[in-house]
Amino acid sequence: MKHVKQIVNPVLAGFYPDPSICRVDDDFYMVTSSFSFFPGVPVFHSRDLIHWEQLGHVLSRPEQLPTNMRKISGGIYAPTLRYHDGVFYMITTNVDYGGDIVCTATDPAGPWSNPVVVEHAPGIDPSLFFDDDGQCWMCGNDWSRGYAVIWVAPFDVKTLSLAGERTDLWRGAMHDAWAPEAPHIYRKDGWYYLMIAEGGTEFFHSVTIARSKNITGKYVGYRGNPILTHRHLGQMYPISNTGHADLVQLKDGSWYMVMLASRPYGGYHLNLGRETFITPVDFSGDWPVVNPGMGHVDFACPAPDLPEHVFPQEDPDDFRAMCWNYLGTPAPDGDPVKVESGNRLGIRCTRAPLIPSSPNEGVEITGRALGFYGRRQQHMVCQAQVKAVLPEGPGTSCGLVVLQHDFASLRLEMAWRDGQSVVRAVRAFRQGKEGEWVQQVLAEQVCGQEEVLTLCAQEQEWTLSVGERVVATANGGFMGSESCGGFVGAYLGMFASGNGEERQDYAYFEDFTYTGIR
Residues in contact with ligand 6LW by the rule CB under 6 A:
17-18, 33, 77-78, 124-125, 179, 181-182, 197, 200-201, 244, 487
β-strand pairing of 228-229 with 240-249: unpaired
Q: Which residues contact 103 (CB under 8 A, 6 or more apart)?
A: 58, 59, 64, 89, 90, 112, 113, 114, 115, 116
Residue 232 dihedral angles phi and psi, to the nearest 5°: -85, 0
Nearest distance in Å: CB 307, ligand 6LW: 34
Nearest distance in Å: CB 125, ligand 6LW: 5
Q: In whole angstroms, what separates CA 36 from the centre of its chain?
A: 10
Q: Is the peptide bond before 17 cis (omega within 30 degrees of 0)?
A: no
Closer by beta carbon to ligand 6LW, 200 or else 477 = 200
Closer by beta carbon to ligand 6LW, 125 or else 451 = 125
> Mind spelling out the 3-state secondary structure of 92-149?
EEECCCCEEEEEEECCCCCCCCCCEECCCCCCCCCEEEECCCCCEEEEEEECCCCCCE
Nearest distance in Å: CB 488, ligand 6LW: 9
Nearest distance in Å: CB 97, ligand 6LW: 16
Q: E strand or H helix at 220, and its extent?
A: strand 220-221
Which of 18, 48, 198, 459 is labelled catalytic?
Answer: 18
Query: Are 182 and 196 in contact, with CB atoms under 8 Å apart?
Result: yes
Q: In 239-363, where does DSSP find H-type helix?
A: none
Q: E strand or H helix at 483, and its extent?
A: helix 481-484
Among this protein's residues, is 181 annotated catalytic?
A: yes
Please provide the distance, in angstroms rounded to a whole number, between the alpha carbons at the two ends of the chain: 30
Fill in the DSSP letter of residue 4. Answer: P
Residue 21 dihedral angles phi and psi, to the nearest 5°: -130, 145
Residue 284 dihedral angles phi and psi, to the nearest 5°: -80, -15
Closer by beta carbon to ligand 6LW, 122 or else 200 = 200
Nearest distance in Å: CB 66, ligand 6LW: 18
Residue 282: CB atoms within 10 A of its CB come to: 14
Which of 48, 100, 125, 181 is labelled catalytic?
Answer: 181
Query: Are 304 and 47 in contact, with CB atoms under 8 Å apart?
Result: no
Closer by beta carbon to ligand 6LW, 182 or else 414 = 182
Nearest distance in Å: CB 405, ligand 6LW: 15
Nearest to 36, CA basis, from 498, 405, 499, 496: 405
Nearest distance in Å: CB 111, ligand 6LW: 25
Distance CA(55)–CA(36), nearest Å, equals 20
Query: Are 248 and 255 in contact, with CB atoms under 8 Å apart?
Result: yes
Give, in degrees to the nearest 5, the angle at Cα 461 between 459 and 467: 115
Nearest distance in Å: CB 93, ligand 6LW: 7
Closer by beta carbon to ligand 6LW, 183 or else 374 = 183
Q: E strand or H helix at 222, and its extent?
A: none
Residues designated as active site: 18, 181
